[in-house]
Amino acid sequence: MRTTTLRLYSLEYKQAKTYLAVALFVAGNILLPQLCHLVPQGGIRWLPIYFFTLVGAYKYGWKVGLLTAIVSPLVNSALFGMPAVAVLPAVLLKSVLLAVAAGYAAMYFRKASLLLLVAVVLFYQVVGTLGEWIMVGDFYKAVQDFRIGLPGMFLQIVGGWLFINHIIRK
């Protein structure tokens, strides 16, 4: 039986690697949503704007995650109009919550299990939904991710676990 150690990093803002990682994760957060938007309701069903934010924050630290969380929605909105400007504050809130939660979980637990990723995704979605409810004043709109986006949350958990543990091992 072979045991391998998962490498998690905490990159700093002064490191060039940080900005290279952010550029790659932002590119992923641009390409994946474009693919998902090819199918009806693909964006709100698969929640693709959050995927590489989760992976980046968990694997390379909250600073990489935070930059990815802020830049990805802004670039996507500017280039493609998605997310729409009206929902951009809620998407940014959830993205930032995700980056902080994923970075903290990785730093504290030093492993990436499915259970930890479930906790991270539930944290940012529940707290983000409460924040969105306060912003928009409509509970039904605020819980949209839970009504429609469950496949996307599942993708973040399972796909994120695969990326962190197997695809980007080093």
Question: Domain containing 93 — which CATH number?
Answer: 1.10.1760
Taking residues 70-85, what's their average pLDDT?
97
- 6 assigned to some structural domain: no
List pLDDT tens digits, range 116-167: 999 999 999 999 999 999 999 999 999 999 999 999 999 999 999 999 999 8
Task: Report the number of distinct structural domains present in the chain.
Answer: 1
- 49 assigned to some structural domain: yes
- 10 assigned to some structural domain: no
pLDDT band at 170 (very low <50, low <70, confident <90, very high): low
Rounded distance, CA 80 to CA 116, Å? 33
- In percent, the amount of the chain with pLDDT more than 90 equals 94
- 26 assigned to some structural domain: yes
Backbone angles phi, psi at 157, to 5 degrees: -70, -55
Domain span at 125: 16-167
Tokens 């399972």: give the residue: 158
Q: Cα angle vertex 117, ends 143, 140, to 5°?
A: 0
- 47 assigned to some structural domain: yes
- 1 assigned to some structural domain: no
- 3 assigned to some structural domain: no
